[in-house]
Structure 1
Amino acid sequence: MSASTSPGTPGSDQHVRMTAWVRGRVQGVGFRWFTRATALRLGGLEGFATNLGDGRVQVVAEGTRARCDELLDWLRTGDTPGRVDGVTEIWDAPRGGYDGFEIR
């Protein structure tokens, strides 16, 4: 990433890291499995989905801004299992170190 580019820049081919916290009835309903399946279907994403102790699911995805935006849109409005009450996300530079997209 060049010094003039930041993760918030809307360039669709820019590689970014998106971390999202999904609130609602999202544990015990297959939400992480469907999130992984969606990330694999979209292609070009690496990262993970994990349950948090407070009932949320955390999703970390690295790839192009366009693919991360598609996954974020699915988390908010897609045909997800359970019930999504809200999604909060942050954007950052990719860190790497993932091998595919996994459930943790």
Structure 2
Amino acid sequence: MSNEPAVRVRVVIHGRVQGVGFRYSCADMADDSAVSGWVRNRPDGTVEAVFEGSRDAVAAAVAWCAHGPAYAAVSGVETSDEQVEGLSGFRIP
């Protein structure tokens, strides 16, 4: 394991991202990548996620969001760096 400090990124994904299995696919990807955080649908039709983990793992999770699962049609991804909270596990609230 690396001594690299963890990072945290909040992501808002735009496009056809609700009703296509985005949250569940995202949770599977995060579990496979050892990324902690959460993902949820927002009332405006976007999906919001927070990823915490190693810089490389979080970057890979953010990159995955640019395409999402097979039936998603992502039109944009907004990211913002945040203070690490020390989350463990990944959930869909």
In the superposition, the TM-score normalised over structure 2's length comes to 0.88
**2:76 is matched with which residue?**
86
| Rounded Cα–Cα distance in structure 1 between residues aligned with 2:71 and 2:25 | 8
| Percentage of identical aligned residues | 33
The equivalent position to 1:24 in structure 2, one of 9, 12, 15, is 15
Shift of residue 35 of structure 1? Answer: 0.3
Kindly name which structure, 1 or 2, has the bigger radius of gyration based on alpha carbons: 1
User: Retained in 1: the 8 A contact 2:25–2:68?
Assistant: no
| Rounded Cα–Cα distance in structure 2 between residues aligned with 1:28 and 1:16 | 29
Give the total of aligned pairs: 90
CA RMSD of aligned residues (A): 1.4
| Structure 1 runs not aligned, ≥5 long | 1-12
**2:6 is matched with which residue?**
15
In the superposition, the TM-score normalised over structure 1's length comes to 0.79
| Structure 2 runs not aligned, ≥5 long | none
Shift of residue 24 of structure 1? Answer: 0.5
Letter in 2 for 1:37: D
